[in-house]
C-alpha cells in the first residue's frame, strides 16, 4: 500500500511542477520555425519579427507582447533569400490595423532592398495596440504579414491561464490528501496499539 502512496505522490509532484512552470516544457528558443509565433508567411516566403527594449532588458526579445512603453527597436528578418532581392518596407500604425484611414502612422520604412536580410526601425511606443505591416513594392506579399503588438497592457487570458495550472495542481493535491486521510490503511495505522 505504501508503494502506491509514494507513486501517487511522485505523480502529483511531477504534475504540479509541469503545470506551474510551463516554460520548462516549451521555450521559445528551442521551437521549430513553424511553431514560432513571431514567424509569418509572406506569400510562400517566411519573415521573423522581433522587438527589443534594451533600456529595460538588454537581451530580451519580444514578439507581440511589449512590456514597457518607450523606445523600441523593431527587427524583421527576411528568412527567405528571395525576399532580399526585392524592395521590402514596414509600416507601424497605432490601432489594430483594420481601418487604415483612421489609424495613425507611427513609423514608415519605405520599401528598399535589404541584402543582409534585416529590416530595422526604431519607434517610440505608448501604451496600447499597434500593428506592424510588412509589404513589398513589387507584390503585396499576398496577405501582408501583420503583427499586432500589445504595449504595456495586461493580457487577462494569459493571466488566467497562469493561475489555472497551479490551482488545479493544488486542488488535486488537496483531493489526494483528503482521500489518503480517509483511507482505511491510515485509520488502521492510527488505530494499531502502540507498545
Per-residue pLDDT tens for 133-154? 888 866 554 456 688 898 988 7
pLDDT tens per residue, range 163-178: 888 999 999 999 888 8
The residues spanned by each domain of the chain are 2-21+157-191, 31-153
If you average pLDDT over residues 4-19, what whole number do you get? 52
Contact status, residue 90 vs residue 121, Cβ threshold 8 Å: yes
Please report the pLDDT score of residue 183 as a whole number.
Answer: 78
Q: Closest Cα to residue 133, out of 162, 165, 110, 164?
A: 110
For residue 14, give the C-alpha cell: 511531477
pLDDT tens per residue, range 94-115: 987 666 666 788 999 998 999 9
CATH architecture designation of domain 31-153 = Sandwich (2.60)
Q: How many CB atoms lie within 10 A of CB 67?
A: 13
Which of the residue ranges 5-14, 59-68, 96-105 has the most confident prediction, judged by mean pLDDT? 59-68
Contact status, residue 65 vs residue 38, Cβ threshold 8 Å: no
Please report the pLDDT score of residue 146 as a whole number.
Answer: 83
d(CA 54, CA 32): 26
Q: Which residues contact 118 (CB under 8 A, 6 or more apart)?
A: 75, 76, 77, 78
Q: Which residue has the cell 495505522?
A: 189
Amino acid at each position: 500500500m505504501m508503494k502506491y502512496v509514494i507513486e501517487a505522490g511522485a505523480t502529483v509532484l511531477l504534475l504540479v511542477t509541469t503545470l506551474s512552470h510551463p516554460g520548462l516544457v516549451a521555450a521559445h528558443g528551442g521551437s521549430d520555425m513553424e511553431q514560432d509565433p513571431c514567424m509569418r508567411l509572406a506569400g510562400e516566403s517566411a519573415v521573423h519579427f522581433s522587438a527589443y527594449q534594451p533600456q529595460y532588458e538588454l537581451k530580451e526579445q519580444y514578439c507581440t507582447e511589449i512590456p514597457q512603453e518607450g523606445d523600441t527597436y523593431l527587427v524583421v528578418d527576411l528568412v527567405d533569400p528571395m525576399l532580399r532581392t526585392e524592395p521590402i518596407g514596414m509600416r507601424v500604425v497605432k490601432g489594430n490595423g483594420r481601418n487604415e484611414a483612421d489609424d495613425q502612422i507611427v513609423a514608415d520604412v519605405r520599401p528598399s532592398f535589404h541584402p543582409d536580410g534585416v529590416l530595422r526601425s526604431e519607434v517610440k511606443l505608448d501604451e496600447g495596440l499597434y500593428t506592424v505591416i510588412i509589404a513589398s513594392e513589387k507584390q503585396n506579399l499576398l496577405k501582408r504579414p501583420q503583427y499586432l503588438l500589445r504595449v504595456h497592457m495586461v493580457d487577462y487570458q494569459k493571466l488566467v491561464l497562469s493561475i489555472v495550472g497551479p490551482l488545479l495542481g493544488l486542488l488535486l493535491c488537496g483531493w489526494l490528501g483528503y482521500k489518503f486521510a480517509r483511507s482505511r490503511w491510515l485509520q488502521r495505522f492510527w488505530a494499531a496499539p502502540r507498545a
